[in-house]
A and B are shown apart, each in its own frame.
Chain A
């Protein structure tokens, strides 16, 4: 029996709706809850707009001033006489990100084994290390920079330490997640062949997790070049100091040049790191053992 679309009348649809209300729309309670959630969110938004002065004339004036004063004065970029100095300081910024990421990775590497469920027998030690990592991570780079500037003085060293501390937390988390996801069989193989703890890590764990760790580390380096470019705002070295200085002195055209340099640097580092990451991971995939024959290099 075939049913033509034209055979279905409005009465049929009404009958079906009465029989199977769930197929036509969600239950009233669910719909009411959804409307309440969206309505509450909208009401809160309006309240916030009012609270922070978006609905006043000051906001309109601010927008006008932003257009007339800030945007108009940013262009064209100027200060090309200082370009060599800017580039040198950008170099310092990249170096801060590099050293900070490296120190973070060096600190986090041994600690990540304590934070991995499959490497540490003691539950409290594993849990404690994880929470310690969370604590380091939960403060922004800038907050750590503020602390280190007070303790070790103005300059890139404070920035390097700020990045190193946050990255120690991040890397403990990322590395230990990589370690927890490894294949147990290789480690068991080394243990069965009489390998001690260190050999199990060197030949059972590291070959599996190292590409993942390297890739994560490079990714965070990329991220930290961005972070390092603003740490100077609180005096922790890098291009941020010059940028904040120019902006506070209303040297907007020079600030514009610096912002452009920062954006270009970020693009360049992103591209480099992405290429390197793809090579590392690609390399890893190519060499992943499918069977024994692939691990032995073919004779040339």
Chain B
């Protein structure tokens, strides 16, 4: 029995109407897809022209990039492994000192920025701010602090404080202040008023309200954000050195500028190892902080 033998059991009109509707729908979708595609291609073209995107220069440059990347690691022989590595990391003491400086810079910037941001977050939370004006001004201050990139803050602070880690710490602190202030304010806005009422009903003082009703609700989230911020700040601390604001970025910048390839490679390897280690550590601590959060509620 062939397919043609099956009698038309369904109402023809409905199928035809469905087919027509479906075709119209497909046509409309295709037109939208075409318009979107055309707009996208136009964007790419405009962007390519504006940014002077030159494929030839790129094709020319890519082999040089890989050459550069290869030169970062000096030849290391199997037999002379430890000697070669020791030679590669000839300045290890200085670099490790820079790394320690970088980590401490990130730590101090996280602490200072978080403390300042934490205080401002109470003014930037809609449910805690007393006056609309303070709320509005605090919000704008936080916005500017985090929208201006930390490297620009670093350039500004280098003018006033001179070259060195101090400028870098202040730059990262200001950026941290802006970010933490906003995130903490959101946490503050989401607290439940019930524990506060409870403490107040049983005759607690203002300090007891804060200590036993507010802090247990917000501290775990604060901690989680702070560990995450620490992770980001270590990254920032490795690059503020590019503009003279201290840390291992200064060593890297000098090595690249002077074409000391194997030095640059050694420092890059130190940075990667540090960033990856900090990622793992921060995640571990964040999970612990969040674990306490779910326990507190």
Whether B149 contacts A229 by the Cβ 8 Å rule is yes
Q: Which residues of B contact A234 (CB under 8 A)?
A: 242, 253
Whether A237 contacts B166 by the Cβ 8 Å rule is no
Give the Cβ gap from B275 to chain A, nearest Cβ, in Å: 4
Whether A138 contacts B275 by the Cβ 8 Å rule is yes
Give A98's nearest chain B residue, CB to CB. B47
Give A54's nearest chain B residue, CB to CB. B166
* Interface bracket on B: 35 or more
Whether A157 contacts B152 by the Cβ 8 Å rule is no
Q: Which residues of A contact B155 (CB under 8 A)?
A: 233, 243-244, 247-248
Give the Cβ gap from B107 to chain A, nearest Cβ, in Å: 6
Answer whether A69 and B159 are a contact pair too, CB < 8 Å, given A151-B68, A266-B147: yes
Q: Which residues of A contact B152 (CB under 8 A)?
A: 230, 243, 247, 259, 262
Whether A91 contacts B159 by the Cβ 8 Å rule is no
Chain A, residues 136-149, CB within 8 Å of chain B (1/0): the string is 00111011001110
Alpha-carbon gap, A229 to B235, bound state (A):
17
Answer whether A95 and B160 are a contact pair too, CB < 8 Å, given A151-B64, A157-B52, A233-B242: no
A226 touches B (CB below 8 Å): yes
Alpha-carbon gap, A263 to B169, bound state (A):
22
Q: Which residues of B contact A161 (CB under 8 A)?
A: 58, 65
Alpha-carbon gap, A161 to B51, bound state (A):
12
* Interface bracket on A: 35 or more
Which of A14-22, A58-66, A116-124 forms part of the interface with chain B?
A: A58-66
Find B242's partner among A94, A99, A142, A262 (CB 8 Å cutoff).
A142
Which of B2-10, B16-24, B80-88, B127-135 forms part of the interface with chain A?
A: B16-24
Alpha-carbon gap, A148 to B256, bound state (A):
11
Interface residues in B130-157 by Cβ distance below 8 A to A read: 144, 147-149, 151-152, 155-157
Known: A44-B107, A151-B62. 7 other contacts (CB 8 A): A52-B104, A69-B159, A99-B51, A140-B238, A152-B65, A250-B159, A263-B147
